[in-house]
Amino acid sequence: MSIKPTELPEALKRKATKHREMANKRHYGASISTRPEIACLRLEEGHWEGDTVVGKRAGQESVVFSLLEKKTETYLAFRIPGKTSEAVMGLMTALHDEYGENFSRIFKTITVDNGSEFADFAQVEQWGTQAFFAHPYTSWERPQNERHNGLFRAFVPKGASIEAFSDEDILSAADELNGRPRKKLGYRTPEELFDAFLDAVFAA
């Protein structure tokens, strides 16, 4: 006996709808499924997850662009003018200018989602960094960044306007998180470990 669509379990109907949405979602570069395994294992520094944190007006004002280094758990947060590809790439260009020829050694891979603000993110590959894009609607593919964005909300609560916070406020919040000792890091801080990583990069 055939089953009518109206008789399908709700979970299956939701799954089918989600699949269609994912199939129609635009991709901006290499899929996370092609990311090298070393980027997942937290065995070496230089592999990052990125995202944006929005306040009021769904990103139509300033937002926070965050980057999380997976091994040291270093969390970088910057206020950018809006949830746009121009703002994201402006920040990435500034980071490249800061680290120069060492940029690709510090940022070996960066994994972001398929939000429109990352439409041009694959351009970081011109600097020697590999860019990967998570599957649509799969925040769990960037779990460390998601968790740290949650911790960051202690400083910038959901619903609060990012416009109410200065660049220094955002940087200070990230510094606070990076200064906390972590059991999983042998009770060292992300700041300590990241400083050691940078020292090794610049000494090479």
Higher pLDDT, 33 or 15: 33
**pLDDT confidence bin for 60, thresholds 50/70/90:** confident
Q: Give the model's pLDDT for residue 24.
A: 38
Which of 7 and 104 is assigned the larger pLDDT? 104
48-203 belongs to which CATH class? alpha beta
pLDDT computed for residue 159 by the predictor: 87
The rounded distance, in Å, linking the Cα atoms of 194 and 69 is 9
What's the confidence (pLDDT) of residue 70?
96
Of the given ranges (13-17, 117-121, 185-189), which has the lowest mean pLDDT?
Answer: 13-17
Per-range mean pLDDT, top range of 13-27, 141-155, 168-182: 168-182
Q: Is the pLDDT of residue 22 over 60?
A: no
Q: How is the beta sheet containing 63-69 ordered, strand by strand?
A: 75-80, 63-69, 47-53, 109-112, 130-133
Residue 77 has pLDDT above 50, yes or no: yes
Specify the higher pLDDT residue, 108 or 136.
108
Domain residue ranges in the chain: 48-203
Mean pLDDT of the chain: 86
Beta-sheet pairing, 109-112 with 47-53? parallel
Give the model's pLDDT for residue 179: 97
Helix (H, G, I), strand (E, B) or coil at 165: coil
Kindly state the helix (H) or strand (E) to which residue 66 belongs, with its residue range.
Answer: strand 63-69
